[in-house]
A and B are shown apart, each in its own frame.
Chain A
Amino acid sequence: MPEGPNGRTFYQRVVQATPGGKSLAQCLQCGSCGGSCPSGPDMDHSPRQLFAMIMAGMEDEVLSSNTPWHCVSCYYCTVRCPQQIPITDLMYTLKQMAIARGKYRESGHVDFSNSFIGMVERFGRSFELGLATRYHLTHNPLKMVSKGTLGLQMMVKGRLSPLPESIRNMPQLTAILTEAKRIAAQQEV
């Protein structure tokens, strides 16, 4: 089986990066996950297939699959899995690994997450107007009119703030996140 840095297999790295991930070894290939998934039809591989591929060490194929990116985080698969595999959390792990290896194809998802977190790292709070403007200008410029109409309706109803709100102790939050990133950078995913 192809080994990654520090002699760990792909399977071991996935498992170790996911709380409760050890139960992946117990996967029965029953398919309850795929059958429960609301976005199954959009996925390259069902979660069941993806797990078999992880066990087979097919790192490149797994990390370039669109499957984790279509996970809507509804946890249906997780509660239905007869082996208590934390499937949704495994999808989060695979997304991180795909980003770390530059394997993802679904750039819209990554850019959306990055835009969202960019606001949070700057203000400590999410900022919906800033996020929507930044993300849709780069990804759906043609849809800006319809998105803008909805935004305007929301603003009229007092549901969209024109200005970001910031927490008071940004230096503290920045220090915490910087340290967390430093620790994360020291370990491979």
Chain B
Amino acid sequence: MTAPNGQYAYYPGCSLKASASAYERSAMAVLERLELRFVEIDDWNCCGATEYFSLNRLPAYSLVARNLALAAAQPTHELVAPCSACYLNLRKTDDHMRQEPKLKEQVNRALAAGGLHYEPGTLRVRHLLDVIIDDVGYEAIAAKVTRPLAGLRVAPYYGCLVVRPFESDDPEYPTHMDRLLEVLGATVVDFPMKAHCCGGHMTQISEDTAFELIRRILHNAAAYQADVIVTVCPMCQLNLDAYQGNVNRRFGTAFNLPVLYFTQMMGLAFGLQPEALGIGSELVPAQAALNKIGQVPAETPRHTPKRRDKDALPMPSRQRR
């Protein structure tokens, strides 16, 4: 079952256009296979991450509400965000505006200065993981699997905000992504730290705090002999992937755990090429893990200009990808 008219309003968030472009690329490739139609909200703005709510709550809610107002203008009531922090901010703003009439009135006064209005409750804000699992379903996903991830040991890492505080599954020990990965043919390892925090913005502010949180998660995944950690959030991916080297240097560890998005795992199982899923942009290379499922490294397209006779007629140059 999909959204009533088969269409979803799509809020990418800043990360998916930059540090997590692999997430967007793989999500779009997988959505096409699943025949889900996502329409990007025109001219959306940043959700403020975890920063604006610490400073000034009314502008923080208003920043998010502009996106809700723009999304509500689309012919669908389903709003999807692939980033857990964006998802939380969108959903929390809708929820708090519904709970607090005064907040609703004040946010709408601010929106009116930009000619916008948002009626809380208009949209159903959802995370991409929940849309894929709840609206497509395990069976329909299984039907698309052409290259099962057999033999690959995966640690399903949910992080915080996809399961807390709005509970789409058990907030302490969720299992819906576990089942999804099993449907793809992977071996899902027990992973007690699956819903613990990656440290969020602390990698920037307090390395002492952040690196210890990252270490615990990596340690746990390594202890259960995972080949790869699978995430649903750009912040989690960045912290576990980009700071894995720092953690190894600080604690004298030798973690070598690639961190991929669940959409990349789906794409691989659907038979898509790793490059079409943005695989290769992770800082801890995933190739060794991919070898286990028979994904041979793609030939690096080397630019070898063909030698042509200098007297040959001029030909249009080949379009580069």
Contact = CB atoms under 8 A, between A and B. Distances in A.
Interface of A: 17, 19-20, 38-39, 42, 70, 72-76, 78-79, 86, 88, 92-93, 95-96, 99, 108-110, 112-114, 116-117, 120, 124-126, 128, 132, 135-136, 146, 150, 153-154, 157-161, 165, 167-169, 172-173, 175-181, 183-184, 189
Interface stretch (B54-62, B223-231, B265-273, B311-319): B54-62
Contact of A73 (B59, B96, B160): B160
B197 A173 contact: no
Contacts of B51: 112-113, 116-117
Interface of B: 14, 17-22, 43-46, 48-59, 61-63, 66, 95-96, 99-100, 103, 106-107, 109-116, 160-161, 164-165, 167, 171-172, 196-197, 199-202, 204-206, 208-209, 213, 242, 246, 280-283
Contacts of B21: 158-159
Contacts of B283: 153-154, 157
Contact of B109 (A70, A110, A150, A183): A183
Contact of A159 (B18, B61, B113, B196): B18
24 contacts: A72-B200, A74-B200, A75-B165, A75-B171, A92-B57, A93-B57, A112-B201, A112-B205, A116-B51, A117-B55, A128-B14, A154-B283, A159-B21, A165-B17, A172-B66, A172-B114, A172-B115, A172-B116, A176-B62, A176-B116, A177-B59, A180-B59, A180-B61, A183-B106
B14 to A, nearest CB: 4
B56 A42 contact: no
Given A112-B205, A176-B63, A176-B114, 7 more contacts: A96-B56, A117-B48, A120-B45, A159-B20, A176-B111, A179-B110, A180-B107
A179 B54 contact: no
Given A108-B205, A177-B110, A99 B57 contact: no
Nearest to B166: A75
B203 to A, nearest CB: 10
Contacts of B206: 42, 70, 108
A167 B45 contact: yes
A125 B45 contact: yes
Contacts of B44: 167
A19 B22 CA distance: 36
Most chain B Cβ neighbours within 10 Å, of A73, A79, A86, A150: A73
B197 A72 contact: yes
